[in-house]
Amino acid sequence: ALGAEAWAKICLERDAKDNKIDHENEDWATDIPPLPVEGGVIIAQLFDLQGRFNLNNLLDSKGKVDPVQLDRLKNLLAGLDIPVTTAESVADWLDTDLNASGVGGAEDDFYLNLEHAYRTANQAMHSATEFRLLREVTPEIMEKLKQEEQPPEDPRLMVTALPGFTNINVNTAPAAVFQSLGLNKSDAEAIVALRDGDPDKPGSNKPFDDITDFTSIPSVKKADIKGTTLGVSSQFFLATIQVNIARSRAILYSIIYRDNDGKTNVISRSYGTL
């Protein structure tokens, strides 16, 4: 599994030398055939994480909740048919105070009264799976955080938890994430269709070479979306490595960070679940 992880790092470093943008028609995002090993196979895939909404973006440089990012999270949840009050629970999970926000917020006084009690983190999330710990979040809500018709091998949610503030990569963001910016569903889906092209026609995709290519789209201009928190490239990626030997299966999830010089480092590993 670690050999496949090393392969993923090499792919991303090569890509940094050849391209200044990141989109899902590049070599790093292309599925490769299963790799045979003694007694089984290894299946490795790479996914971009900056096309998702980073929950840690809610915290500003002083550890306070950014109202603009909070509104964007509410837009995202509304588009996924998830109660927007859940965004207030996210804010309370992250912020350092013990004062519940709005009608959907929750602090220690709520969680400590649960049958299986725990405290709020009061710090940035380490994993998007912490979302399932929030007030009134159900398995059904967690399912809604997945993209429609999402392949089973893609473990990503519409939200992620990356270190610090990260730009949204408009070349990999799904329509729901565009809705978080203030676009309506039809305009968001039209942008994705234009960007991704026809999957049956190789080369029909039109990734954005510069953020101004995105912000100059009429629907984006109408929504008054600024490009300061957006980008056309990514630094955080998820490698999923599945090892199948006989009747046994193991999955390694590795989050890889690629710096501005194109060098990569694994910042987290987990086995079995993200």
Question: What residues does each domain of the chain span?
Answer: 2-52+149-271, 57-144
Residues near 216 by beta carbon (within 8 Å), at least 6 away in sequence: none
Q: If you search the block for the tokens 């995105």, which residue do you land on?
A: 214
Over 70: is that where the pLDDT of 274 sits?
A: no
Q: Which fold has domain 2-52+149-271?
A: Pantoate--beta-alanine Ligase; Chain: A,domain 2 (3.30.1300)
SS (H, E, C) 165-195: CCCEECCCCCHHHHHHCCCCHHHHHHHHHHH
**What share of the chain in percent tops pLDDT 70?**
100
CA gap 189, 45 in Å, rounded: 25
Which one is predicted more confidently, 237 or 37?
Answer: 237
CA gap 166, 105 in Å, rounded: 24
Q: Give residue 226's pLDDT.
A: 82
Are both 2-52+149-271 and 57-144 of the same fold?
no
CA gap 154, 80 in Å, rounded: 18
CA quadruple 127, 231, 87, 97: dihedral sign: positive
Q: Give the DSSP H/E element, type plus range, for residue 87.
A: helix 86-94
From the number of C-beta atoms within 10 Å of its C-beta (0-12, 13-18, 19+), residue 91 rates as buried
Query: Per residue in 5-20, pLDDT tens?
Result: 999 999 999 999 999 9
213: helix, strand or coil? helix
Q: Give residue 267's pLDDT.
A: 96
CA gap 64, 273 in Å, rounded: 30
Give the Cβ contact number of residue 33 at 10 Å: 7
Over 80: is that where the pLDDT of 96 sits?
A: yes
Query: Per residue in 209-220, pLDDT tens?
Result: 999 999 999 999
CATH 1.20.140.10 fits 57-144, yes or no: no
